Amino acid sequence: MAIKLPIYMDYHATTPADPRVVEAMLPYFTEHFGNAASRNHPFGWEAEEAVDTARKQVADLIGANAKEIVFTSGATESNNLAIKGVAEMYREKGNHIITAVTEHKAVIDTCKRLEKEGYRVTYLPVQKNGLISLDDLRNAISDKTILISIMTANNEIGVIQPIAEIGAIAKEKAILFHTDAVQAAGKIPFNVNELKVDLVSISAHKMYGPKGVGALYVRRRNPRVLLAPQIDGGGHERGMRSGTLNVTGIVGMGKAAELCRQEMARDAARLSGLRDRLSERLHTGLDEIFVNGSVEHRLPHSLNISFAYVEGESLLMGINDVAVSSGSACTSASLEPSYVLKALGAGDDLAHSSIRFGLGRWTTEEEVDYVADKLINVVTRLREMSPLYELAKEGVDLSTMQWEVH
Amino acid sequence: MAYSNKVIDHYENPRNVGSLPKEDPNVGTGLVGAPECGDVMKLQVKVNPDTGVIDDAKFKTFGCGSAIASSSLATEWLKGKTVDEALAIKNTDIVAELSLPPVKIHCSVLAEDAIKAAIGDYKKKQGKADTAQATAQPTA
């Protein structure tokens, strides 16, 4: 069977919009173009109704009430609003925030900014499996702690943090708990009440919806969470996020959420099967490859592997008809290898050798087999020209060698 | 990232991949870079003791496509050159030949270091180590 190239296997970066999502959105560009804030004519009413439907669809995906959903421009804004909004609103109660070193930049950099403004931030380390230690979390809490922000699933390695356990600790200590659930929402079951989370960031384009729209869940009861708005204006979204609502985007996000809720179990079962097939094929065809992060606590469609002795960018060059990401420094503007992989303590060399595979709704078995075969060929070829592989095969322990670091 | 056609050609058809016997007195070996920096080059030259001309050159590189191309090109250029001519190869020559973008200039620097290290090793073996080259020696 002919495979259409290039193959997309980077579903953590973004996902294509589901055609059913696009179909739902289209009338709202032209026919129903009203401003959801126009209260005095049917154009506005139609738009508002569509937004209300979407709000319910998004709320249903995470077990929330529709009134607890605030639409934003995406998860970066949601993370900013949650963290800065809480920090500003609860400043009198305390100035301490707890997060983790493997969080997305939208959380880390937001916390860094707050540090400049006098807040104190604890960045919890992670264990070798990518998960935080609950003891570390407990020890970090002080009477000044106002917020814990720990992501549900990591964007690079796909590991799932113990959110329910963190939620229980936060509840016990009466500290607000925010989670960036961008990679998890729509992919694995997620219920705000079971997990005891107070704020949740989600994004439409990671779950087969359009780009440029996201949401923040803000708990209304037990406790009622208050946020200082970060964008001032017409007082939209219960005063928490001003700005004319992106009705088409919101409709798309709602439809995407509904589809994820209905198809999650089937998608997850199919994708974890394909993901395991990819992993098994690679492990059969190659020695010295390592899965980064917990295998057990992992999103069904995620796989991050380090191919020892082979540098990530040269690997990507060899599979240039496959779209994946690497933790290699050479693929990033900063020339620094992935801070997430470094945090696992696997060593910078393995961070340079990593590939992130993200499978999704349209990934096929043929594609998985093609990618596995191609990688085995390329890794084998690159190892033949790798001085590190040669040294390792000669029995040299690379970690004890003295390198001239520049 | 867009690669020049020459980088792609060297990546897909690397010249002179392999190893020469390290113990041979006429072989000089240079090993530069570090795994945690994302690139390590091993470059070897085999010098004809009678003529002082490099008869053979081999490389192995752990690194990005530009690092592989820089070292592959270096081995091509080394063959047929005398030891002193080899030392005259500059990283800027490699940058120009491969059209390396600014973020990849370090790959060419590493290739120049590898040449100097290999020649330095050869000279040391020949008992005429040049102290100026000693800094380019691999510490491994």
Summarised one tens digit per residue, pLDDT across range B12-66 is 999 999 999 999 999 999 999 988 888 999 999 999 989 999 999 999 999 999 9
The predicted structure's pLDDT at residue A139: 98
Kindly report the CA angle at A131 between A127 and A133, in degrees rounded to 5?
Answer: 70
The predicted structure's pLDDT at residue B2: 78
Closest chain A residue by Cα to residue B43: A387
* Residue of A311, A347, A348 with shortest CB distance to B62: A311
Integer angstrom CA distances of residue B25 from A14, B20, B46, B80, B128:
56, 11, 9, 19, 12
pLDDT tens for residues A210-234? Answer: 999 999 999 999 999 999 999 999 9
Instruction: Inspect the interface and report whether the beta carbons of A403 and B139 lie closer than 8 Å.
Output: yes
Integer angstrom CA distances of residue B33 from B47, B62, B67:
24, 9, 11
Interface of A with B in 319-338 (CB under 8 A): 328-331, 335, 337
* Cβ-based contacts of B42 with chain A (< 8 Å): 387, 390
Interface of A with B in 48-67 (CB under 8 A): none
**Catalytic status, residue B64:** no
Between B2 and A106, name the one with better pLDDT.
Answer: A106
Q: Confidence class of residue A406 from pLDDT cuts 50, 70 and 90?
A: low
Q: Provide φ and ψ at A10, rounded to 5°.
A: -130, 45
Among residues of chain A, what percentage have pLDDT more than 90?
A: 90
- The Cβ-side half-sphere exposure at A94, using a 13 Å CA radius, reads 16
Owner of token pair 């009440």: A193
Question: Of A365, A379, A377, which is closest to residue A306 (Cα–Cα)?
Answer: A379
How do strand B54-62 and strand B39-47 relate by DSSP bridges?
Answer: antiparallel
Structure tokens at A386: 């790798």
Q: What is the mean pLDDT of residues A337-358?
A: 88
* CB-based contact A54:A250 (threshold 8 Å): yes
* CB-based contact B68:B16 (threshold 8 Å): no
Is the reported ipTM for this assembly greater than 0.90?
Answer: no
Among residues of chain B, what percentage have pLDDT more than 90?
A: 81
pLDDT tens for residues A118-163? Answer: 999 999 999 999 999 999 999 999 999 999 999 999 999 999 999 9
Whether pLDDT at A333 is above 60: no
Whether pLDDT at A22 is above 70: yes
Contacts of A39 (CB under 8 A, 6+ apart): A45, A48
Residue A185 to residue A132: CA distance in whole angstroms: 20
Whether pLDDT at B77 is above 70: yes
Hey, how many other C-beta atoms are within 10 angstroms of the C-beta on A369?
A: 15
Classify residue A186 as left (phi > 0), alpha (psi -120 to 50) or beta. left
The predicted structure's pLDDT at residue A132: 98
> What residues are paired with A343 via a beta bridge?
none
Lowest mean pLDDT among A82-86, A281-285, A387-391: A387-391
Instruction: Inspect the interface and report whether the beta carbons of B62 and A347 lie closer than 8 Å.
Output: no
The predicted structure's pLDDT at residue A334: 59
Q: Confidence class of residue A329 from pLDDT cuts 50, 70 and 90?
A: low
The DSSP letter of residue A131 is P
Structure tokens at A404: 């001239």
**Catalytic status, residue A111:** no
* Cβ-based contacts of A349 with chain B (< 8 Å): 35-36, 38
Residue spans of alpha helices (H) in A103-211: 105-116, 134-140, 163-172, 192-195
What's the Rg (C-alpha) of chain B?
Answer: 14
Crossing angle between the packed helical segments A75-89 and A105-116, to the nearest 10 degrees: 30
* CB-based contact A182:A29 (threshold 8 Å): no
Integer angstrom CA distances of residue A170 from A140, A220, A268, A309:
12, 16, 29, 42
Under 8 Å CB pairs connecting chains A and B tally to 93
The predicted structure's pLDDT at residue A140: 98
Mean pLDDT score across all residues of chain A: 95
Residue spans of alpha helices (H) in chain B: 5-12, 65-78, 83-87, 91-98, 105-125
* Residue of B17, B34, B138 with shortest CB distance to A384: B17
Sign of the CA dihedral running B8, B9, B12, B18? negative
Structure tokens at B132: 């100026």
* Residue of B38, B60, B139 with shortest CB distance to A311: B38
How do strand A325-326 and strand A302-307 relate by DSSP bridges?
Answer: unpaired
Question: Cis ω on the peptide bond leading into residue A229 (within 30° of 0)?
Answer: no
Between A350 and A192, name the one with better pLDDT.
Answer: A192
Structure tokens at A261: 């809720």
Q: What is the mean pLDDT of residues B55-80?
A: 96
Kindly report the CA angle at A50 between A45 and A55, in degrees rounded to 5?
Answer: 120
